[in-house]
């Protein structure tokens, strides 16, 4: 007996999508059944051809679950694709997500730039305090040596007059 997988109206396929948030690109793979996927970073050479550049991950997805992969900021561009393929079955059709937008370093959220300003201000203040303390110690030592020298000269002068 042969069963058609589409007869119930729900086809148990897996899906891959991208999510862009807070300076990172995330790849989300969902599957209603337990499955094993290979995820590649590849360079699109033709319309449907993608030459693998590196293996990003080999992931396992549990039934009715998802796996999230974070991509590096360097993985972006008009011909860069993320390709996923189910490897625990004999035949699987690869899914590609291409034209991943580049996230610029300069476009930091306001909170990040405020945090950076706070850190820089704190470092400058700590350095100013350290330099002030070092200067105070140097001046104190110099002043004490000067007093010792004066006292030494006074005792010599007193000794000389006696």
Domain contains 24: yes
Judgement on whether residues 84 and 117 belong to the same structural domain of the protein = no
Judgement on whether residues 94 and 41 belong to the same structural domain of the protein = yes
CATH of the domain at 35: 2.60.40
Q: Please give the average per-residue pLDDT across 62-83, as a whole number.
A: 82
- pLDDT tier for residue 96 given thresholds of 50, 70 and 90: confident
Domain contains 8: no
Query: What is the domain extent for residue 83?
Result: 15-100
| Residue 157 pLDDT | 58
| Residue 61 pLDDT | 87
Residue where a domain terminates, one of 100, 127, 143? 100
Model confidence pLDDT, tens digit, residues 6-45: 566 566 678 888 887 777 788 888 888 888 998 888 888 8
Model confidence pLDDT, tens digit, residues 103-147: 665 554 555 678 888 899 999 999 999 999 999 999 999 988 888
Residue where a domain terminates, one of 66, 100, 134? 100
Judgement on whether residues 91 and 122 belong to the same structural domain of the protein = no
- The 3-state secondary structure of the chain reads CCCCCCCCCCCCCCEEEEEEECCEEEEEEEECCCEEEEEEEEEECCCCCEEEEEEEEEEEECCCEEEEEEECCCCCEEEEEEEEEECCCCCCCCEEEEEECCCCCCCCCHHHHHHHHHHHHHHHHHHHHHHHHHHHHHHHHHHHHHHHHHHHHHHHHHHHHC
Residue where a domain terminates, one of 100, 128, 149? 100
Judgement on whether residues 70 and 93 belong to the same structural domain of the protein = yes
Say which residue, 161 or 31, is predicted with more confidence: 31
pTM score > 0.85 for this model? Answer: no
Judgement on whether residues 114 and 95 belong to the same structural domain of the protein = no
Domain contains 83: yes
Judgement on whether residues 76 and 112 belong to the same structural domain of the protein = no
Judgement on whether residues 67 and 51 belong to the same structural domain of the protein = yes
Judgement on whether residues 59 and 119 belong to the same structural domain of the protein = no
């Amino acid at each position: 007996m042969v069963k058609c997988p589409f007869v119930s109206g729900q086809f148990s396929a897996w899906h891959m999508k991208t999510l862009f948030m807070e300076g990172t690109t995330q790849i989300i793979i969902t599957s209603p059944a337990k499955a094993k996927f290979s995820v590649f970073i590849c360079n699109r050479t033709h319309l449907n051809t993608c030459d693998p550049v590196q293996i990003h991950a080999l992931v396992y997805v549990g039934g009715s679950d998802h796996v999230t992969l974070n991509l590096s900021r360097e993985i972006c561009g008009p011909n860069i694709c993320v390709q996923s393929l189910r490897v625990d079955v004999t035949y699987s059709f690869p899914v590609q997500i291409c034209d991943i937008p580049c996230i610029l370093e300069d476009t930091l959220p306001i909170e990040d730039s405020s945090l950076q300003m706070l850190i820089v201000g704190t470092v400058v203040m700590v350095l100013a305090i350290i330099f002030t303390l070092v200067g105070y110690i140097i001046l104190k030592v110099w002043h004490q040596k000067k007093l010792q020298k004066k006292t030494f000269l006074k005792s010599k002068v007193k000794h000389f007059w006696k």
